[in-house]
A and B are shown apart, each in its own frame.
Chain A
Amino acid sequence: MAQVSDKPKFVTREEVKMPPLKELTSMRDKIAPGHRLCTGCVAGTILRQMFMAAEAADYTLIIANATGCVEVCTSIYPYTSWKVPWIHNAFENAAATITGVEAAYKALKKKGMLPSDKKVKFVALAGDGGTYDIGFQSLSGAFERNHDFIYVCYDNEAYMNTGIQRSSATPRHASTTTQPAGKVIPGKPQPKKWMPEIAVAHGIPYVAQLAPSNFNDFFKKFTKALNTEGPSYLNIFCTCPRGWRAKEEEGILISKLAVETNYWPLFEVENGSWKINYKPKERKSVVEFLKKQGRFKHMFKSGNEHLIEELQQDVDKRWERLLKLEQL
């Protein structure tokens, strides 16, 4: 394991060379077509964006995938969508699993037993449930042990695979099957857990928040994570048309609105220093983001204006905190 004290150097955003889109899109896909993700599921888009960055940097990803939509939809025996080494162990242990693989890599490398000496990067891939909730302990342990891996959370803000149950990543007032908008309780009472700052608190070298609508930024951040020694945490916005009751063709648009409304700010944290990568010239009202999604529909009923206000406050508070963190 890398020494916790030696601060890794980062490639700067300017140093990340993004090949022309034409070149990127003609790269051999590492995720095969025919998987069972819903039409319009942005998780699939995220995977492709990850693989483009990895391919461009000549890295092979070795992935441990937590139970969830991506895992279930891509590995129905006897088929697999994965053209890279991939393992599913259980729901709550993607981080522990990938650190075991990484430890094996070191051990077998020492023994001269590795079949290939190409560049590899270890990736734990999990949904918000597998990250913010049930996989939290395993994730925290893996960060603290300072293994060399990227933790990717595709955050679709609920337990989708089991039928849209609330998680600690679900935003305030969203309607889910376990906290539905009712006459007395209007959806989830608690605000969304602020995971990136918890990741930063571990003292890991690189934490970033990404959105698939902003591919340029996505590409740079993933490339930086590839080049970081030690743990990286990537929190990725992931539209779930099914669970959010949104239009299948609007996944990327909703991601864009999330960024433009500051609902999903794009930032990165290198060795504890925060930087906001995109500040909208004119921040849109969160309403623009909410109105595209059925999970927030009840908030638009007359008499419920305060629900929208409260969510807007959550968004503004987080943005202000980010601005402060950037000043540190």
Chain B
Amino acid sequence: MAVRLMTERKVVPYTGNMATAEALRQINPDVVAAYPITPQTEIMHFFANYVANGLVDTEFMTVESEHSALSAAVGAAAAGARAMTATAGPGLALMWEILGVASGMRLPIVIPVVNRALSAPINIHCDHSDMMGARDQGCIMLFSENAEEQYDNVIQAVRIAEDERVRLPVIIGMDGFIISHSIENVSLLTDDEVKKFVGKQTLTHSLLDIDNPVTHGPIAMADSYMEFKRQQREAMMNAYKVIREAGEEFAELKGKKYEHIETYKTEDAEYILIVMGSAAGTAKYTVDGLREKGEKVGLIKVRTFRPFPYYDVVDVIDASNVKAIGVMDRAETFGGYSGPLFEEVCTSLYTRGKIYPITGIVYGLGGRDCNLNHIEEAFDVVKRKAAGMDVPPVTYLNLRV
């Protein structure tokens, strides 16, 4: 049996990768499949040490590709095991085909992703193009702002994924290097608390139940395929509720509340930025600085990207004094109007009949720095938009000219 290490709560100086590995150790999954890719690899180094030293009961599979990592997780999950894998950038791209298989077969696989840019040019640093490329493969998607959020999100993800109303894979993204390799204070739960929170899985339609054989992954023709897809949409809609419930229960346990979005000084804000991931931390700090100068600025951080919390976002914007909105995307949609987050926000507003000046901002591709000055620049763009000045559909922050 796995050894209990954390018998008391602790605040520790951990990187995002250490925090993720710690969550994995405490979850103690049945099967973990791993393949190295920067900046994710380190998670599996830590985890492999837990395996080597008997700290987990996990069957640890060091497979020959990310495609096989997720394929093995699909097999394991269909057998009823609690299965996980982790990856980054091109690894997630290689998994793409099987992400749709996992969600279509309604398998609750938890996949921490360390966000990394896609090739070419090859680049190991952060942006969100990996998860955005996978956004329509039917997986729930959460983004974390820092190491502790990643730890908390991974633990909640097990509950969300396995909920009978949902049964979908969950991808939890944290920004490569910026979170994965930076040391922060992380407050950890005890092993028993995590064990209790994630609960026991139930064996549903297990491939190992030979007395009740099931066929997983049949071929569906045009007469039934659409119904499968519609059920997935409903599961995703249910996830909206289940993610919230898990967040509330987690708050009771840890005192830290997780919602679909987090708002920062938006109540009376005239200029609002919307952002995901680690840039939210920088943006909060920038908001404080600008507020000191008397500027009415605010921030919305999106935590749940799939299912997209369109009501929450619009409600918050509506309750503010907004004059213009800037949506910051750490990914491109070449040839589209602006980034994927921008498009979600626009659709959410328009379909509720809310028309505000809004502009797209692309930042941080391939690890390009995004500091206080750049967030200030982003607010400047929003102010110009509010003033009716000519602003391009997409502004690139911190671009060399």
- The residues of A with any CB-CB pair to B shorter than 8 Å are 60, 62, 64, 71-72, 75-78, 80, 82-90, 92-93, 95-108, 110-111, 113-116, 118, 120, 137-138, 140-141, 144-145
> Which residues of B sit under 8 angstroms from A118, Cβ to Cβ?
210
> Which residues of A sit under 8 angstroms from B220, Cβ to Cβ?
77
In Å, the complex CA distance between A107 and B79 comes to 10
In Å, the complex CA distance between A141 and B62 comes to 9
Contact A100 B75 (CB under 8 A): yes
In Å, the complex CA distance between A137 and B57 comes to 28
Tell me the residues in window 224-269 of chain B with beta carbons closer than 8 Å to chain A beta carbons: 224
Partner among B83, B97, B209 whose Cβ is within 8 Å of the Cβ of A115: B209
Distance between A102 CB and nearest chain B CB, rounded to angstroms: 8
Partner among B64, B213, B219 whose Cβ is within 8 Å of the Cβ of A75: B219
Contact A100 B74 (CB under 8 A): yes
Given A90-B98, A111-B57: A104 in contact with B210 (beta carbons within 8 A): no
- The residues of B with any CB-CB pair to A shorter than 8 Å are 30-31, 33, 57-59, 61-65, 67-69, 71-81, 83, 97-98, 101, 203, 206-221, 224
> Which residues of A sit under 8 angstroms from B217, Cβ to Cβ?
75, 87-89
> Which residues of B sit under 8 angstroms from A93, Cβ to Cβ?
67-68, 71, 98
Contact B210 A120 (CB under 8 A): yes
Given A60-B210, A118-B210: A88 in contact with B218 (beta carbons within 8 A): yes
Distance between A50 CB and nearest chain B CB, rounded to angstroms: 15
Contact B68 A85 (CB under 8 A): no
Partner among A83, A88, A95, A99 whose Cβ is within 8 Å of the Cβ of B213: A83
In Å, the complex CA distance between A118 and B213 comes to 13
Contact A111 B30 (CB under 8 A): yes
Contact B206 A115 (CB under 8 A): yes
Contact A137 B65 (CB under 8 A): yes
Partner among B58, B71, B210 whose Cβ is within 8 Å of the Cβ of A138: B71
> Which residues of B sit under 8 angstroms from A96, Cβ to Cβ?
63, 67-69, 71-72, 75
> Which residues of B sit under 8 angstroms from A85, Cβ to Cβ?
206-210, 213-214
Distance between B204 CB and nearest chain A CB, rounded to angstroms: 12
> Which residues of B sit under 8 angstroms from A86, Cβ to Cβ?
207, 213-216
Contact A100 B67 (CB under 8 A): no
In Å, the complex CA distance between A118 and B211 comes to 10
In Å, the complex CA distance between A64 and B69 comes to 15
In Å, the complex CA distance between A118 and B217 comes to 24
Given A93-B71, A114-B208, A141-B65: A100 in contact with B83 (beta carbons within 8 A): yes
Given A77-B221, A99-B75, A104-B30: A115 in contact with B208 (beta carbons within 8 A): yes
Distance between B220 CB and nearest chain A CB, rounded to angstroms: 4
Contact B208 A137 (CB under 8 A): no
> Which residues of B sit under 8 angstroms from A101, Cβ to Cβ?
75-76, 78-79, 207-208
> Which residues of B sit under 8 angstroms from A99, Cβ to Cβ?
61, 63, 72, 75
In Å, the complex CA distance between A98 and B98 comes to 15
Contact B72 A100 (CB under 8 A): yes
> Which residues of B sit under 8 angstroms from A103, Cβ to Cβ?
30-31, 59, 61, 72, 75-76, 81
Contact A141 B68 (CB under 8 A): yes
Contact B215 A75 (CB under 8 A): yes
List 15 interface pairs A-B (beta carbons < 8 Å), by A numbering. A62-B208, A75-B218, A82-B213, A85-B209, A89-B71, A96-B72, A97-B71, A99-B63, A100-B76, A100-B83, A104-B207, A107-B76, A108-B79, A115-B203, A145-B61
In Å, the complex CA distance between A221 and B60 comes to 31
Best-buried of A72, A113, A137 by chain B (most CB within 10 Å): A113
In Å, the complex CA distance between A62 and B216 comes to 11
Contact A89 B101 (CB under 8 A): yes
> Which residues of A sit under 8 angstroms from B61, Cβ to Cβ?
99-100, 103, 145
> Which residues of A sit under 8 angstroms from B210, Cβ to Cβ?
60, 62, 84-85, 115-116, 118, 120
Which residue of chain A lies nearest to B69 when distances are taken between CB atoms in the complex? A96
> Which residues of A sit under 8 angstroms from B78, Cβ to Cβ?
87, 101
Known pairs A77-B224, A104-B77 / 7 extra A-B pairs, C-beta < 8 Å: A64-B75, A99-B61, A102-B75, A104-B76, A107-B57, A138-B65, A141-B63
Distance between B227 CB and nearest chain A CB, rounded to angstroms: 10
> Which residues of B sit under 8 angstroms from A140, Cβ to Cβ?
64
In Å, the complex CA distance between A113 and B30 comes to 11
Which residue of chain A lies nearest to B64 when distances are taken between CB atoms in the complex? A141
Partner among A72, A100, A102, A106 whose Cβ is within 8 Å of the Cβ of B71: A100
In Å, the complex CA distance between A115 and B202 comes to 12
Best-buried of A84, A92, A98, A99 by chain B (most CB within 10 Å): A99
> Which residues of B sit under 8 angstroms from A72, Cβ to Cβ?
219
Distance between B226 CB and nearest chain A CB, rounded to angstroms: 12
In Å, the complex CA distance between A76 and B31 comes to 30
> Which residues of B sit under 8 angstroms from A138, Cβ to Cβ?
64-65, 67-68, 71
4 smallest beta-carbon distances between A and B, as pairs: A100-B75, A141-B64, A100-B72, A104-B79
> Which residues of A sit under 8 angstroms from B206, Cβ to Cβ?
85, 115
Contact B67 A116 (CB under 8 A): no
Distance between B211 CB and nearest chain A CB, rounded to angstroms: 6
Which residue of chain A lies nearest to B33 when distances are taken between CB atoms in the complex? A100
Best-buried of A83, A96, A98 by chain B (most CB within 10 Å): A96
Contact B97 A137 (CB under 8 A): no
> Which residues of A sit under 8 angstroms from B65, Cβ to Cβ?
137-138, 141
Which residue of chain B lies nearest to A67 when distances are taken between CB atoms in the complex? B219
Partner among A80, A89, A115 whose Cβ is within 8 Å of the Cβ of B98: A89
> Which residues of B sit under 8 angstroms from A83, Cβ to Cβ?
213
Which residue of chain A lies nearest to B29 when distances are taken between CB atoms in the complex? A107
> Which residues of A sit under 8 angstroms from B71, Cβ to Cβ?
89-90, 93, 96-97, 100, 138
Contact B30 A107 (CB under 8 A): yes
Contact B64 A76 (CB under 8 A): no
Distance between A23 CB and nearest chain B CB, rounded to angstroms: 22
Which residue of chain A lies nearest to B97 when distances are taken between CB atoms in the complex? A90
Distance between A201 CB and nearest chain B CB, rounded to angstroms: 15
In Å, the complex CA distance between A62 and B213 comes to 9
Which residue of chain A lies nearest to B73 when distances are taken between CB atoms in the complex? A100
> Which residues of A sit under 8 angstroms from B209, Cβ to Cβ?
85, 115-116
In Å, the complex CA distance between A92 and B70 comes to 12
Which residue of chain A lies nearest to B31 when distances are taken between CB atoms in the complex? A103
Distance between A200 CB and nearest chain B CB, rounded to angstroms: 19
> Which residues of A sit under 8 angstroms from B58, Cβ to Cβ?
107
In Å, the complex CA distance between A114 and B206 comes to 10
In Å, the complex CA distance between A150 and B359 comes to 57
> Which residues of B sit under 8 angstroms from A102, Cβ to Cβ?
75
Which residue of chain A lies nearest to B61 when distances are taken between CB atoms in the complex? A103
Contact A104 B213 (CB under 8 A): no
Contact B62 A108 (CB under 8 A): no
Contact B75 A89 (CB under 8 A): yes
